[in-house]
Amino acid sequence: MMGKKSKDKFRRGYIFLDWENLWKNLENFLSSSYERFSPKDWLNRLIEQIGQEEGQVIKVYVFVPLHLASSWAETFYNLGFFTIACPKIRGKAGEEIDTTDRTLMSFAETLIDETRELTFICIGSGDQDFIPLANKARDRGLRVIAAVASWGSLSSEFGKKVKKTYLFSPTVEGI
């Protein structure tokens, strides 16, 4: 993966993608336009641009619910991403609970704590549920960036926690 040296140190980080969040918002956009948009090409460009602007991308982790995992596993594998399938579980009252956000945050927090010389993280979601993760990364002195599917999917509170946002969209404003 690509990287860039700053004057004082080598910059490097992880990318954590909440695929269901990104894909749902992108599907809404794509239903009205851009028939030939390739998520694989966009993801390649995203990683390349983050590498050029932010530093070396150590690894990309994609968190995806089980019902989407088999549809996207080959694409993510071919891109060199690590896919983490997140099951939906039943709560005490029998309600269905999505574990994607919780799994992404727990996994990312562990890597933040264990990785030396980490300088940034990218959270692939605009969901305000990721504010605690952004705060933890910022408290550790990391630059926090985001990738979202649309400006409308970026929570205003979460948007205040990130230094830069990449738009996951085939528009001119996107990558």
The pLDDT assigned to 35 comes to: 56
CA 4 to chain centre: 20
Which portions of the chain are predicted below pLDDT 70?
A: 1-9, 27-37, 168-175
CATH number listed for the domain at residues 37-167: 3.40.50.1010
Give 47-62 pLDDT, tens digit per residue.
Answer: 999 999 999 999 999 9
pTM equals: 0.86
If we measure between CA atoms, which residue out of 108, 106, 86, 84 comes closest to residue 98? 86
Return the domain boundaries, the chain: 37-167
The phi-psi region of residue 55 (left if phi > 0; otherwise alpha if psi is between -120 and 50; otherwise beta) is left
CA dist 65 → 84, 88, 165, 174 (Å): 8, 7, 24, 25
Task: Look at the chain and count its residues.
Answer: 175
